[in-house]
Every structure is written in C-alpha cells, then in structure tokens.
Structure 1
Amino acid sequence: MLNFERSTTSCRSTAMRRGLRSRARLRWRVLLPWLAIVAAVLALFLFPGSTPAMDARAHPDGLAVLEQVPVSETRQWVLIRTEDVANPVVLFVHGGPGTAQLTLMRRNTRPLERYFTVVNWDQRRAGKSFAAGRDRARMTMGQFVDDVVDLSSYLARRFRKERILLVGHSWGTVIGALAVHRRPDLFSAYVGIGQMSTMAESERLSYEWTLEQARSAGDRRSVAKLVAIGPPPYEGAFRSKFLTERQLLARYGGEYHGSRIGALGVVLRNLVLSREYTMTDRINFFRGISQSLDALHEELFRTDLFVQAPALQVPVWFCLGRHDREVPSALSARYFEALEAPRKQLVWFERSAHLPNTEEREKFNRLLVDAVLPALRE
C-alpha cells in the first residue's frame, strides 16, 4: 500500500512538472512575438537612418551621405547622392510647408545621380530637421529664404561650384523663387514644380473648383462641408478647414491625377519603407506638417510673386501638371507669362496634377538631363 501511494505521488509530481513545463512553453510562445515586436519598435527608434551606399568600384568618385550640415546657425539634414562629385549640384526644396520627402525624392531622382550631385533637404521643423525649428520666432518665410541661400552657399563651397541648380516644389517654389530673386549670383538656373504665385488667388480658385466638383458629383456631404468652412482665407481653425478642403480636392483628382486619396498613398508608402527616417523622424514628419502650417500660413497667404519676384535673372523652367488644382496650374501659367527671365520654358505634364516629378517621373528626369543640364554648360 505504501509503495502504491509513493508511486501515485511520484506520478502526480511528474504530471505537475510536465504541466508546468507545458505552461512555460506556452507562455514563451505567446511572449516571444510580443518581445520581437517591442525589439523591432525599439530598433526603429534607436537605429540611425541611412541611405543605400554608392558602389565604390563602379563609381570611385561617387558619394552617398545622409548628414547634418550647418544652415543659418542650426544643423539641418541633407541627403547627398552622386556617381561623381564633379557633377553640377542640384538642390531640391520640398513643399508643404513641412512636407519632407527624403525617401520619395531619393527614389525619384536615382537616374539623375549619373549627371548631378543630387541634394535633398529636410527644412527646419520638417522630418529629420524637426529640431532645427524649435524657435517659433524664426519660423518665418524670410528665415526659410535665408536658409535656402545659406545652404546653397554651403553646397557651392563644398563642391567647388560657382553656382548651383535650384529646384522647388509647391511651397518650395515660394522660398526658392525668392532666394533666386535675392541672390541670382548663387544659381545657374531655377526649376519650379507646381509653381506658386499669388497664394490668396490660388486658394480661392482651388476652393471653387473643389466645390464645383462636389456639386457636379451630387456629393451633398462634401458640399455641406465646404459650405460650412466657407471660402478662404479661412477664419478661426485654419488648419482644420484648410486640410478639409485639401482632402476633398484630392478625392476629385486635383492633387494626384487619377487618385481619390491624392498623394497620401505615395507619401505613406515611402515613409513606412524609408531607410532614411527613424521612428522618431516618422512621428516628427506629421508634427512638422501641422506645426509648420500653423506658423507660416498667415504670411504665406500674403505671398504674391507677381510683385515679390517679377523677374529672375537666371534661366527658368516651370513644370506644371495639367490637372493641378491644389496650386491651379492656369494661375501658375499666368505667372510664367508675366515673369521676366533671360530664358524661360513652360513644360506641361499632361498626366499629372500637383506632383509631376512623381506622377511622370521619367519625363521630369529627362527634362533635367536633356534640357536643363545643357543650359548649365552654356
């Protein structure tokens, strides 16, 4: 009887140990995926951004760096890529304000690295340069123009160039055109993509077009939203009203031709898959857009390049999407006609709206190589 009890106790102990081991294994099976997720999130926050390396054997004089450089007494981030550092320098000035585009532009401009030293820049309070805009008092258009000039001067010195090519997109065309107007000696040529001109008139036309599309589509909900916010300039909660109009405009293809969500899908895909941005940078991407818009919209609404930059003393190209209603291309074309320049050309992108350099990337890159580059050598 005693032996039986001992045997029973031993079996129970063995079963308990097996049960404990089984529960422990189950816990680990549950915990391991979560630990892997936590580790991945920590890595996204802690690991620095990077950019694909240049093939040193194929391009011994190439360069591929993602780094902070001095700009107007701050440190701001640039992505510099080229197959040969002797190439002409081109600085891309992104839109927004605050819409940083390092990864998207790196993919767009990859073919240009053979011909140019390509520089993409995150402006203060945008993306990787978010911290550079912590001083709200310096978040002014004048400061951003100073930044364009200061960075351009730095790049010219660094790569031993007399002048560089400047390419602006949307908001970047405002500070870009003003920088060229102020310092034509720094720039070999200017390319405006989705060129802005008179902000107040641009926004009025944009709003009226969006309201017309909603009415034609029988979209009563969108009509009600637009009527509720009223035409620009928007009073009160500016950012909310501005973004409401932009969201509805995108639904009708006025931002990205043929898309009902505008450029959002393209931007998010490149942001999520970015090697250049850390998780903190991704968070700051959205913070930067809202904070930059809050800081700059009143001054931006007073912009009138017909008056502020009626002439540019360098060759000029405008790249306009035929379907652009975010910065209505018809108004941009009027500014082009009025603009005085030693040489100018307007290029229409028939299958594009506000992002022709992305929507028709190959055509845009060919323009820079086949038309703009030869002009720089004249």
Structure 2
Amino acid sequence: MLIAAALTATAAATPVAGLLAHRAAVRAGRARDLRIDTGRGVDESCFAPIGGLDQWLSIRGQDRANPVLLELHGGPGSSNAVLAHLSRAWERHVTLVRWDMRGTGKTLRRSGADGQGELTFDRLLKDAVEVIEHVRARLGVTRVVLLGCSFGSALGLRIARSRPDLVSAYVGADQKVFDGGRDTTDYHDLLERLDRAGKKKEAAAVRAAGPDQRAWSAEQFAHFNRFAAATDPYTFAAMKSVVTKSLWYSPLHSLPELGTFFRSFLVSAAVLPGTAALDDHADGTRFDVPFFLVQGARDLVNTPARARAFYDRVQAPAKSFTLIEEAGHFAAYRRPDLFLDLLRTTVLPALPATR
C-alpha cells in the first residue's frame, strides 16, 4: 500500500523513540482539539448491531439541534475516522456520523477478517440503510444529509435515489459514477501514464486484466486502483500529506489499529467485482432530494468530467457542482475549509425545515 510505504519511509528516517514521542505529543494536542464540552453537544462512539455484525459508529457535534450528516467512506476499506481533526470545524454546524463499514477499521478489528460475513456491494448497501435507521432512532431525526466519499458515493447515490424518505440532501465528494463498463477512458489513461512513467510491470498487469472490468478479479481491481492513485500526482500528494499524516497522528487509533487500516483494503477488495456491472445512468438520474457534487479539479481517479456528465443529466429540487482547484482525490479533506463553506452556504440552506 502507498500509505504504508510512506509511513515506513518516515519511520526509517527518524529514531524510533523520538518518532513515538513526537507522535504522542501531536496526538495529545489533537485529542484536546477534538474535545466537545458544550452542554448541547454529543460525542459518542459505539458498536451497533448492523446487518448481524457489530459495526463501529461515531457521533459528534457541538449542538444536537444541528442537521445530521452521515458520511460513507471510500475504499472500500478506507475509514475516514482517521481524518477527524480535519473535519472538526464541520461539527459546529452539523452532527457528523462516521461508520466503519464491514471489512473496515474498527469494525474489522472487532470481529476479524473471518467474522465479517457477506462482503458484497449489496450487503454494504443494506448495512448503510440500517445505519441510517439506527441514527434516526438514536438522534430523533427524520432524515439525514448523506455525504458519499469516493466508493462510498456509489452507495450514497443509490440510497438518495431510492430512499428520499431517509435523506434530506445528497452530497457526493469524489463522486464515483458507474456506467456498466461502457467507458474505458480511465483504463486507457492509466496505461498511458504507466507507459510514460516507465512502469513496465504495472502496465503489463493492467494490460493482462483488459479493459472489461466485468472480468476482473478482486486483486485486479485492487491493483488498478492502487496504480491509478500512484500515477495521479495530486492524489498521491494528498495521500501523503492528508491521509498518511492523519493516520499516524490520529488520537482515535492505537499503533495496532494502524495495521488494521492497511488490512482493511485487502479484506474489502472482495466487494469490488460486484460493482463492475453497475450503471448509474440506467438506474435513473431523477432525485427527489437536493443534489450536490464536489470534485477535485485534478482528480484522475474519479474524474470531474465523468461526474459532470452524470450531474448534467440529474433532475433534483436543487443541485450544484463544485470544483476544488489544485486538488485531486480526497478533495473535501484537502480543502476542508472550502467544503465547510459549501455546507454552510449551499447544502444546509437547501434542507427542509423539519428534522
């Protein structure tokens, strides 16, 4: 994994004792910054029975009266809990709910790889609906704002389309759009980048897989995603400066849990072959909830052009498409200030008056 390699390089360049002492100091500072001590606030984390499996949830916010925003992380297997310090300012305006999906993070660590049950896209989709129902009951709200991040946006898109009774607005960040495998532009663009960089072994693996993702194995999906991120300079930079550092200094994660973070990608790759035939265009472009997309202008993983083509067909009560300049993948976390501005000025004003 690219993130693991970055951490290894950092560790090799610094004496272990000093590295751990610095980590402890930064984690303590971030823990203080994450503290919620207002009388109207909420800061809870627990394992909830979702889909027959104990799955980890975090609920944080400065004021329980604020709208509830449920985040669906990417990957699959890429827990956003490590990014908590970057979204701290969001929690003044929304109650932010995070969930480690089956096969991911604290949920994976709780039951182990063999205890994750069915690892399919359909199972994750059912789990997501159960999570919303759990959050509604726990916080006493009717609907939630749904934030889908990268792979999580594939789940979010389907819930927003089919269950507007549960969703007050949909926000897609690094939106993943499936088209049944018709468009192979991403495949050929990656091959071109690999050839240009002289990555012969990686290019050979991509050519051996072929352009039809419906025939790919979980391992081939995982390789493709890793190569795509590694050859996207803006995304690779964000992985080092945003994800890797956040993971290393997360006050919510112990050293053993860092290993679980990496294992999550391997375990969750089993989900990917079941996504190859998905077709968002065929499933419908009408949404009965406000619809917002946020993309990194330089994202080569989930390209803004593909997201924009889908967005242009969307019919919704309100919609907007926002590009974050000089950002690739992880755009909302590369510029959490700009994402918060979008929340405050565009998303939250579009919500219905009732909770």
- The answer to whether TM tops 0.5 is yes
Q: Which moved more, 1:204-213 or 1:339-348?
A: 204-213
CA RMSD of aligned residues (A): 2.9
Of 251, 256, 262, the match for 1:286: 262
Q: Secondary structure at the match of 1:125?
A: coil
- Does the 8 Å CA contact 1:108/1:357 hold for their aligned counterparts? no
Query: Could you list the per-position Cα deviations for residues 22-59 of structure 1 after superposition, in whole angstroms to 9, with x for gaps in the alignment?
Result: xxxxxxxxxxxxxx98xx9xxx9xxxxx9656343xx1
The 5-angstrom pairing of residues 92-107 of structure 1 reads: 92-104=71-83, 106-107=84-85
Equivalent residue, structure 2, for 1:144: 124
1:149 maps to amino acid: V
The 5-angstrom pairing of residues 90-129 of structure 1 reads: 90-104=69-83, 106-129=84-107
Q: Aligned partners of 1:93 and 1:205: how far apart in 2?
A: 26
Q: Secondary structure at the match of 1:185?
A: coil
Q: Aligned partners of 1:140 and 1:272: how far apart in 2?
A: 29
Q: Secondary structure at the match of 1:339?
A: coil
- Does the 8 Å CA contact 2:179/2:281 hold for their aligned counterparts? no
Of 229, 234, 252, the match for 1:276: 252
Equivalent residue, structure 2, for 1:307: 282
The 5-angstrom pairing of residues 274-353 of structure 1 reads: 274-293=250-269, 295-353=270-328
Matched, 1:174 2:149: no
1:254 Cα offset (Å): 5.7
1:174 Cα offset (Å): 0.9
Question: Over alpha carbons, which structure has the higher Rg?
Answer: 1
CA 1:301–1:264: 2 relative to 1, 3 Å: farther
CA 1:124–1:230: 2 relative to 1, 3 Å: closer
Q: Aligned partners of 2:307 and 2:278: how far apart in 1?
A: 13
May I ask how many residue pairs the two structures share in their alignment? 325
Please list every run of 5 or more consecutive structure 2 residues that lacks an aligned counterpart in the other structure: 1-15, 25-29
Please list every run of 5 or more consecutive structure 1 residues that lacks an aligned counterpart in the other structure: 1-35, 45-49
1:129 Cα offset (Å): 0.7
CA 1:127–1:91: 2 relative to 1, 3 Å: same
TM-score by length of 1: 0.77
Q: Secondary structure at the match of 2:54?
A: strand
Of 142, 154, 158, the match for 1:162: 142
Q: Aligned partners of 1:146 and 1:245: how far apart in 2?
A: 27
1:311 maps to amino acid: R
Q: Aligned partners of 2:183 and 2:105: how far apart in 1?
A: 25
- Does the 8 Å CA contact 1:255/1:326 hold for their aligned counterparts? no
Equivalent residue, structure 2, for 1:54: 35
Q: Aligned partners of 2:205 and 2:344: how far apart in 1?
A: 42
Query: Could you list the per-position Cα deviations for residues 304-324 of structure 1 after superposition, in whole angstroms to 9, with x for gaps in the alignment?
Result: 111224322100001112212
Equivalent residue, structure 2, for 1:82: 61
Of 192, 213, 217, the match for 2:193: 213
Equivalent residue, structure 1, for 2:232: 253
Q: Aligned partners of 1:300 and 1:66: how far apart in 2?
A: 30
Equivalent residue, structure 1, for 2:4: none
1:228 Cα offset (Å): 4.5
Q: Secondary structure at the match of 1:128?
A: helix
2:328 maps to amino acid: A
CA 1:373–1:205: 2 relative to 1, 3 Å: same
Q: Aligned partners of 1:203 and 1:284: how far apart in 2?
A: 34
Q: Secondary structure at the match of 2:165?
A: helix
Q: Aligned partners of 2:206 and 2:36: how far apart in 1?
A: 55
Q: Aligned partners of 1:304 and 1:255: how far apart in 2?
A: 28
Identity of aligned residues (%): 26
TM-score by length of 2: 0.81
The 5-angstrom pairing of residues 352-367 of structure 1 reads: 352-367=327-342
Q: Aligned partners of 1:291 and 1:255: how far apart in 2?
A: 26
